[in-house]
Amino acid sequence: MYHFYKYLVILLVFLLFTGMGCQTKESEDQKLPPLDGTKMSGELTYQIPESWQEERPSSSMRKAQYRLPGVDGAEEAEMAVFVFPGSGGGVQANIDRWIGQFIQPDGSSSIDLTEIKKIESNGLQTTIIYVTGTHLKGSMMGGPTTELKNYAMVAAIVETNTDPWFFKTIGPQATIDHWRGEIEKFARTIKQQ
């Protein structure tokens, strides 16, 4: 009888560990990112070009962050992904605020030089903004700003059935101009889950 219980305990321990192993493997597989280049941020999925580097967001306000390689000796650009559930303002309010972060060397209006394009893809309305000039980089709380000359921004505001999502890319104009077409292609890959 002793041997029966001994074997029963060994069998139960074996089943327990192998069962846990399978469960752990499943859990690990569910955490792995897709192998096809699809990225997920909350309720959206999208395709990031291979040459863009995913980074740890520099702020808890960011859902994701990507580094776009510099070109022709220019520095890299940065794409920040935001969503502000229940707040964050509408499309036009954000366009106006972002354009206000650029001034022109000749004193002309940045609004007059901004290109705005609307696209529809995968059932989502997206507004794409392009502006160049001197970028007034500063804190959101009204602190000091740094003037970055010959900069540009391409931003996409994606209207979902809940809150708008913001994909804002800023960097030297040479780098932004190089990636501008690719950023628009990227915006067309965005889907709502």
CATH number where 50 lies: 3.40.1000.10
pLDDT, tens digit, 9 for 90 and up, residues 44-90: 999 999 999 999 999 888 999 999 999 989 999 999 999 887 666 67
Q: Are 74 and 161 found together in one domain? A: yes
pLDDT, tens digit, 9 for 90 and up, residues 5-54: 445 445 444 444 444 444 433 333 333 344 345 555 558 999 999 999 99
Q: Are 161 and 131 found together in one domain? A: yes
How large is the greatest C-alpha to C-alpha distance in the chain, in angstroms? 96
Q: Are 24 and 44 found together in one domain? A: no
| CB-CB neighbours of 139 under 10 Å | 8
Could you give the number of structural domains in the chain?
Answer: 2
Q: 102: exposed, middle or buried (C-beta count within 10 Å: 0-12, 13-18, 19+)?
A: buried
pLDDT, tens digit, 9 for 90 and up, residues 126-175: 999 999 999 999 855 667 889 999 999 999 999 988 889 999 999 999 99
Q: What are phi and psi of 187, to 5 degrees?
A: -60, -30
